[in-house]
Amino acid sequence: MSGIRFEGVWKLFEGSAVVSDLNLDVRAGEFIVLVGPSGCGKTTSLRMLAGLERPSHGRIFIGDRDVTDVPTGERDISMVFQSYALYPNMNVYRNLAFGPRVRKEPRATLDARINEVAELLQIKHLLKRTPAALSGGQRQRVALGRALIREPQVFLMDEPLSNLDAALRVQMRAELIRLHQRLEKTTNVYVTHDQVEALTMGDRVAVLKDGVLLQVDSANDLYEHPSSVFVGEFIGSPKMNILEGTLSFSGDSCTVEVLGVRADVSERVAGRLREGVVSGPVLVGIRPHDLFPATGSTGESPAISATVDISEHTGAEVFATMETGPSRVVARLPRVPTPDRGERVDLAFRAGAVHLFDRDTQLSLLDRGTPSRRTSAPADISQQVR
């Protein structure tokens, strides 16, 4: 079983860093997802791991082996990339069977493997067709199949489901998870810009922004303990409300003033405040799920008068953009009766669920989910970065 380690990895293109000081340990057999907005360096990180791109600085390990200078073919990896290439003049069967290691297998074993993978990916009926006669989604499944058939130590996937329709994507997501559970020894690195995909698939999720790794955690911990405003907003839908507020300590009590009300932050928040946090302005993060029509129950903030602007049905719930004083927030409203535009609603938030961030650094003021420590650039990098 092979884990993966990025050790102080940088990648510069034309003097600008697209991956900065990447330090990441992936456990053997783990399914890790790299997620982040377009251009944040996900594909570049994966290409370095695959050996298709050489780091400008730092080392990459697969298992105990330093593979930084090992050619792609000798890394025991399989990959499916954003732009997958199938052999155009071979049919699907031969595309699946084409690979240095696979070709050495006896015909009967190979047939059985191909059938198994084809069944899994629902491409059995396509085995005799050439890629030209396949839809985009079918081609993508063949590309996945070709990588799967080799049963590698490390399986790299770069947005492998991006060409599938919504239903098939959800189904394939589940198939890939099931497959991962079955092939316990394979370490998976999966790249997506879709946070829902990241949260549903990853044992752990690594969030990248502008080439910097911000946080690596389980889906639950990322959601509950975002280390920065960026992660708070990126993970979860609809996205977290970020509001100006004031934190006050007086005696034993700790309160936060936001949206025109002052709420006692419960022990759950106060007990986790980082050392050295003092009274003063903060950024308050409230998830739309934690902002709802007031019921007066304990643990709720005082009522906040708000007006419905736009409401959006998501099926099970309604999320509405509401105006309250100078702020606009998204809140969770009951589905029935559907709130009308202009309707007034008294909102409250769950005081124990607020997130607090530093106004300047935008980093969490609550202990948990420490961002990866950023060291200063090594000398050879500093000279190259413009």
Binding site for ligand ATP (CB under 6 A): 13-14, 18, 36, 38-44, 193
Residue 43 Cβ vs ligand ATP, minimum distance, rounded to whole Å? 3
Q: Which partner in Mg ion, ligand ATP, none is near 140 (CB below 5 to 8 A by kind)?
A: none
CA 357 and chain centroid, separation: 21
Q: What is the spatial distance between Cα 227 and Cα 355, in angstroms, rounded to a whole number?
A: 10
Cα angle: 247, vertex 248, 249; to 5 degrees? 130
**Which residue's CB is nearer to ligand ATP, number 157 or number 283?**
157
Minimum CB separation from Mg ion for residue 79, in Å? 13
Q: Look at residue 169 and give the partner it binds from ligand ATP, Mg ion, none, a contact being a CB closer than 5 to 8 Å depending on partner kind.
A: none
Question: Considering the complex, what minimum distance in angstroms separates the CB of residue 13 from ligand ATP?
Answer: 3
Which one, 43 or 228, has the nearer CB to Mg ion?
A: 43
Nearer to ligand ATP, 19 or 26 (CB): 19
Inter-residue contact 372 to 209 (CB < 8 Å)? no
Between residues 90 and 196, which has the closer beta carbon with respect to Mg ion?
196
Whether the CB-CB separation of 122 and 103 falls below 8 Å is answered with no
Q: Going by C-beta distance under 8 Å and a sequence separation of 6 or more, which residues neighbour residue 57?
A: 8, 9, 10, 378, 380, 381
What residues line the site for Mg ion (CB under 5 A)? 43
Degrees, nearest 5: CA angle 272-368-23: 160
What DSSP letter does each residue of 57-99 carry, written as one string? EEEEEETTEE-TTS-GGGS-EEEE-SS----TTS-HHHHHH-S
For residue 121, the minimal CB distance to ligand ATP (Å) is 23
Asked if residue 249 lies in contact with residue 335, where contact means CB atoms within 8 angstroms, the answer is no
Which residue number has the CB closest to Mg ion?
43
Q: Which is nearer to ligand ATP, 18 or 117 (CB)?
A: 18
- Which does residue 236 touch among Mg ion, ligand ATP, none (CB within 5 to 8 A, set by kind)? none
Distance of closest approach, residue 159 Cβ to ligand ATP, in angstroms? 7
- Nearest-approach distance from CB 83 to Mg ion, in angstroms: 9
Q: How many residues does the chain have?
A: 386
User: Which lies closer to Mg ion via its Cβ, residue 30 or residue 158?
Assistant: 158
